[in-house]
Structure 1
Amino acid sequence: MVKAYTYILQCFDDTFYVGSTKYLEKRIEQHQNAEGSEYTKRRLPVTLFYYEEYDRIDHAFYREKQLQGWSRKKKLALMGGDLELLPELAKKIFRENE
């Protein structure tokens, strides 16, 4: 069974890039060779900081879109395993946008 991945790269400028793919190692190599996204091309080198594995690419893509909407603090909490902080960080984002 082919797996799918949602991944987060840390770019040279300390920003994060979120993507999804069926072939994680190949995709990271593409990013490193400036064959990935326009965003990462200008921010090389990149480092794989976090990934999640899925059985279906559409699930990985859905998760990618979800994480792209998250704040930096919320992404850092996820990547650091501080899952108990996620609900509170979501509330802070909502309150800031009111």
Structure 2
Amino acid sequence: MTRALLKTAVLAVALVIRLTPADARSGVISAETYACTSWGAAHQYTMQSLTPKGGQINRNCPIRLPKGTPVDVTNEDDDGYAVVTHRGKTWWVDGERVR
């Protein structure tokens, strides 16, 4: 029984270490922004936002992050976008909107 518990504890610790981003830092959203599922989706949203109709929420950019939302920043400069983790999921947001 003790051996099984020890193995389970070691496995749990290994998973926590593996799933924690190594170089993530805490950040805050400085202005409301949409979070997209990939770099391509974020770029498409940016191009859409330059049209008179503006950027629209869609399946590739499904959530809006309000100002003041805490995030973990895993990559600050991915060609103008920041890669952040919010509620366990990875998102691409406008790099200028993350502090």
TM over 0.5: no
Of Structure 1 and Structure 2, which has the larger fraction of its residues in helix? 1
TM-score, normalised by the number of residues in structure 2: 0.24
Of Structure 1 and Structure 2, which has the larger fraction of its residues in strand? 2
Higher-Rg member (1/2): 2
